[in-house]
């Protein structure tokens, strides 16, 4: 199988984290999974290899899964998603905490009658909605009905059943459970409609009421033949408290001819609703079911319908549950007759004489038959025990040989010799060849091997491989798990799933910028990262992380190394003495030492101080960080104007020009008023 417990804790289709296996069937396995996108739990049904490789099946599966996804109803399990992944197909659906109706019946036996009616009506509500949307379930059975703790039912597997309708009915293991609930038209391979679902629901209701299905057998073919030809015993014959009205509903639903069944889910639900409130079923149901019951000889052939009664008082027990009254209403009147024991005595004598004569005739006939050739019965495709019994009953001696066969299930007859219909003398040997099933080989141990070696090992014993890459702490490219397990015997050509490591699962790198190195290192190591340190120049305080690689938010394998850039702390340099230098020389000296320059002007009447630095701030020989702005005051010669009278007007103001591209800015100082 392609899917198994090797899926546990893997990310399926890059979205669903598989938690655990919920169950398995002939067509698919079901897992509990967590939807990583929507944060909810879902049930994922994943097709097995046999169906995933059938193009016709896959196409029907896709189409019906799409239809099922559109069914939104309180009694139908919601389908959330469908898709293809890892070489197979899947459906993601609503997950319910509960168990199947089949599990409930097995655990508790027959349901109380009101509960059985309520359960059937809930299933009918789901079918009514599906049928109105043009979808026939085709696989109604208690296994496909989930029950929660509050008694709410939800029908599942819409569409899967339709897609699976083309599978062979003799497929052992995967169809025998369904065969017990097949409608006659399904058993014949004929087209089906909504009435087929109602037949299957009739079987489910029968099982709810009695704890057993009406038809059983060792092989699906045997069960199917009973659906086609046998009339079921009414449920009340197995459980006396079942009211007759409920018998009528079940027997009409189980009519062999679809035309005699309920035409719609609404019609069947209407009868169950009548029973639940103490009323009689419809005339159509009474007539159809009475005829079927008469055919089964479980009730009198002539059954008169009781006249309608006035509605019961609200506090009265429902009419359908008053068993004694129902039995009385449908019982035949007892008439007075003459003594009949003489007739019985005469009849007994006649029977005895007839039996004696028949015995003598039978003995003579048996002796004659033993000398006559008889036809060999047809036993191909039948289980070996049934074939042996049929051969012996025909008067022949069976012999059995075995061989492997890829098509015929184990234990079934592949061929016979002589052929069926050949006439040979009784007592001769009839040889049958029974199937061992597909040839089985032992699965080799693959863990720890490379993917290439593992595939070669499987091919050498006739098995196929399916490689799935998974995150693991083991070396890249090595096998971490397999299914089936080593040593297990499986049929040839079975697909073995092998999980191959692609390294540890990536995890996100947290941001530690701005933390101290000690704090950042501890946080990373707690998440299994290795830490490397690199000291870098920075104006941040010493010891703080100012950069990291890989960058925050990156996803890397667990155990990867993260390099932290740690600040050396700010550095200071001495401020050069630029006083008495001309403006250009002072500027060059300061810029060369890593400082920025701010220039201010001060008027002077000394021509020798024109364009000469008069002062600076910070002062010479002080310590400052690179990039600090140093302000220099430059002299500006203005002369003395003796002819100009003094003025009291304020000097003109000036604004600071923007910094130049060289890192120098100039600000003129206000001119002093002349005397």
> Using one digit for the tens of pLDDT, what is the confidence trace for 159-207?
554 544 444 343 433 333 478 999 998 887 788 899 999 999 999 999 9
Under 8 Å between Cβ of 16 and 44? yes
The pLDDT of residue 499 is 94
How far apart CA 34 and CA 158 sit, in angstroms, is 22
The pLDDT of residue 661 is 47
Q: pLDDT at residue 90 above 60?
A: yes
The pLDDT of residue 3 is 45
Under 8 Å between Cβ of 8 and 40? no
Under 8 Å between Cβ of 125 and 27? no
What is the overall mean pLDDT for the chain?
82
3-state secondary structure of 265: helix
Average pLDDT on 293-316 reads 42
Of the chain, the end-to-end C-alpha distance in Å amounts to 110
Q: pLDDT at residue 62 above 90?
A: no
If one counts every other C-beta atom within 10 angstroms of the C-beta of residue 530, the result is 11
Would you tell me the crossing angle of helices 244-253 and 283-295 to the nearest 10 degrees?
A: 80
Q: pLDDT at residue 492 above 50?
A: yes
Q: pLDDT at residue 2 above 70?
A: no
Number of helices followed by number of strands (H, E) in the chain: 18, 30
**Residue positions counted in the chain:** 675
139 is catalytic: yes
How far apart CA 586 and CA 591 sit, in angstroms, is 9
Q: Which residue has the higher pLDDT, 536 or 322?
A: 536
Q: Which residue has the higher pLDDT, 651 or 301?
A: 651
How far apart CA 554 and CA 564 sit, in angstroms, is 15
The pLDDT of residue 619 is 94
- Grade residue 503 by pLDDT with cuts at 50, 70 and 90: confident
The pLDDT of residue 396 is 94
The pLDDT of residue 167 is 43
Residue tagged 């897609």 (tokens): 163
Percentage with pLDDT > 90 across the chain: 49
> Using one digit for the tens of pLDDT, what is the confidence trace for 204-241?
999 999 999 999 887 777 888 888 888 899 999 999 99
Which residue of the set 49, 55, 118, 139 is catalytic? Answer: 139
Q: pLDDT at residue 674 above 50?
A: no
Q: Which residue has the higher pLDDT, 291 or 598?
A: 598
Q: pLDDT at residue 56 above 80?
A: no
For the chain, domains (ranges, CATH) are 1-95 (3.30.200.20), 98-164+176-294 (1.10.510.10), 374-435 (3.30.10.20), 440-501 (3.30.10.20), 507-567 (3.30.10.20), 573-637 (3.30.10.20)
Q: pLDDT at residue 368 above 60?
A: no
Average pLDDT on 621-630 reads 88
The pLDDT of residue 343 is 58
Average pLDDT on 400-425 reads 89
- Grade residue 273 by pLDDT with cuts at 50, 70 and 90: very high
Tokens of 166: 């083309």
How far apart CA 236 and CA 318 sit, in angstroms, is 17
> Using one digit for the tens of pLDDT, what is the confidence trace for 236-272?
999 999 999 999 999 999 999 999 999 999 999 999 9
Q: Which whole-number Å values give the CA distances from 347 to 67, 471, 654, in the listed order? A: 66, 85, 145
The pLDDT of residue 49 is 72
Instruction: Report strand pairing: 561-567 vs 530-536.
Output: parallel
């Amino acid at each position: 199988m392609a899917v198994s417990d090797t899926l546990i804790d893997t990310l399926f289709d890059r979205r669903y984290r598989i938690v655990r296996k919920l169950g398995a069937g002939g067509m698919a396995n079901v897992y509990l999974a967590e939807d990583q996108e929507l944060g909810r739990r879902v049930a994922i049904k994943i097709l097995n290899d046999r169906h995933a490789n059938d193009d016709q099946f896959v196409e029907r599966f896709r189409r019906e899964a799409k239809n099922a996804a559109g069914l939104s109803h309180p009694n139908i399990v919601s389908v959330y998603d469908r898709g293809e992944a890892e070489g197979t197909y899947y459906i993601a659906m609503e997950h319910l905490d509960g168990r199947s109706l089949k599990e409930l019946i097995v655990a508790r036996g027959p349901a109380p009658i009101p509960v059985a009616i309520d359960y059937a009506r809930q299933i009918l509500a789901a079918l009514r909605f599906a049928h109105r949307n043009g979808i026939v379930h085709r696989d109604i059975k208690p296994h496909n009905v989930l029950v929660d703790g509050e008694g709410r039912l939800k029908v599942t597997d819409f569409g899967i059943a339709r897609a699976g309708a083309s599978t062979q009915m003799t497929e052992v293991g995967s169809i025998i459970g369904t065969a017990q609930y097949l409608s006659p038209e399904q058993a014949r391979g004929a087209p089906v409609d909504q009435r087929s679902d109602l037949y299957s629901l009739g079987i489910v209701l029968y099982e709810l009421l009695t704890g057993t299905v009406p038809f059983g057998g060792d092989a699906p073919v045997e069960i199917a033949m009973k659906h086609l030809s046998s009339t079921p015993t009414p449920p009340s014959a197995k459980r006396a408290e079942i009211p007759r009205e409920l018998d009528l509903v079940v027997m009409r639903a189980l009519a062999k001819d679809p035309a005699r069944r309920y035409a719609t889910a609404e019609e069947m639900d209407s009868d169950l609703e009548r029973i639940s409130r103490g009323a009689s079923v419809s005339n159509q149901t009474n007539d159809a079911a009475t005829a079927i019951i008469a055919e089964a000889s479980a009730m009198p052939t002539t059954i008169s319908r009781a006249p309608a009664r006035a509605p019961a008082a609200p506090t009265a027990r429902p009419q359908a549950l008053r068993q004694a009254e129902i039995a009385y209403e449908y019982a035949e009147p007892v008439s007075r007759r003459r003594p009949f024991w003489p007739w019985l005595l005469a009849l007994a004598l006649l029977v005895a004489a007839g039996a004696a004569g028949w015995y003598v005739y039978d003995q003579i006939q048996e002796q004659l038959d033993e000398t006559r050739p008889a036809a060999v019965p047809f036993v191909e495709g039948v289980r070996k025990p049934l074939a042996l019994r049929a051969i012996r009953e025909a008067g022949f001696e069976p012999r059995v040989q075995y061989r492997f066969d890829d098509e015929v299930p184990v234990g079934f007859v592949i061929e016979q010799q002589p052929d069926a219909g050949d006439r040979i003398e009784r007592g001769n040997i009839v040889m049958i060849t029974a199937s061992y099933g597909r040839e089985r080989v032992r699965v080799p141990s693959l863990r720890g091997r490379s993917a290439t070696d593992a595939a070669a090992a499987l091919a050498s014993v006739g098995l196929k491989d399916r490689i799935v890459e998974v995150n693991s702490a083991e070396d890249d490219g090595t096998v971490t798990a397999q299914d089936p397990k080593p040593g297990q015997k499986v049929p040839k050509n079975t697909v073995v799933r092998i999980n191959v490591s692609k390294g540890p699962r990536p995890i996100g790198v947290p941001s530690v910028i701005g933390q101290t190195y000690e704090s950042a290192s501890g946080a990373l190591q707690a998440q299994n990262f290795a830490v490397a340190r690199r000291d870098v120049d920075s104006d941040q305080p010493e010891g703080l992380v100012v950069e990291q690689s890989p960058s925050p938010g990156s996803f890397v394998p667990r155990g990867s190394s993260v390099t932290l850039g740690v600040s050396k702390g700010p550095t200071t340099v001495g401020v050069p003495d630029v006083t008495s230098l001309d403006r250009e020389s002072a500027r060059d000296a300061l810029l060369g030492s890593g400082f920025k320059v701010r220039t201010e002007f001060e008027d002077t009447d000394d021509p020798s101080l024109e364009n000469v630095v008069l002062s600076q701030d910070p002062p010479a020989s002080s310590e400052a960080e690179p990039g600090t702005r140093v302000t220099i005051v430059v002299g500006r010669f203005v002369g003395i104007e003796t002819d100009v009278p003094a003025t009291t007007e304020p000097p003109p103001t000036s604004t600071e020009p923007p910094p130049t591209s060289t890192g120098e800015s100039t600000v003129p100082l206000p001119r002093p008023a002349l005397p």
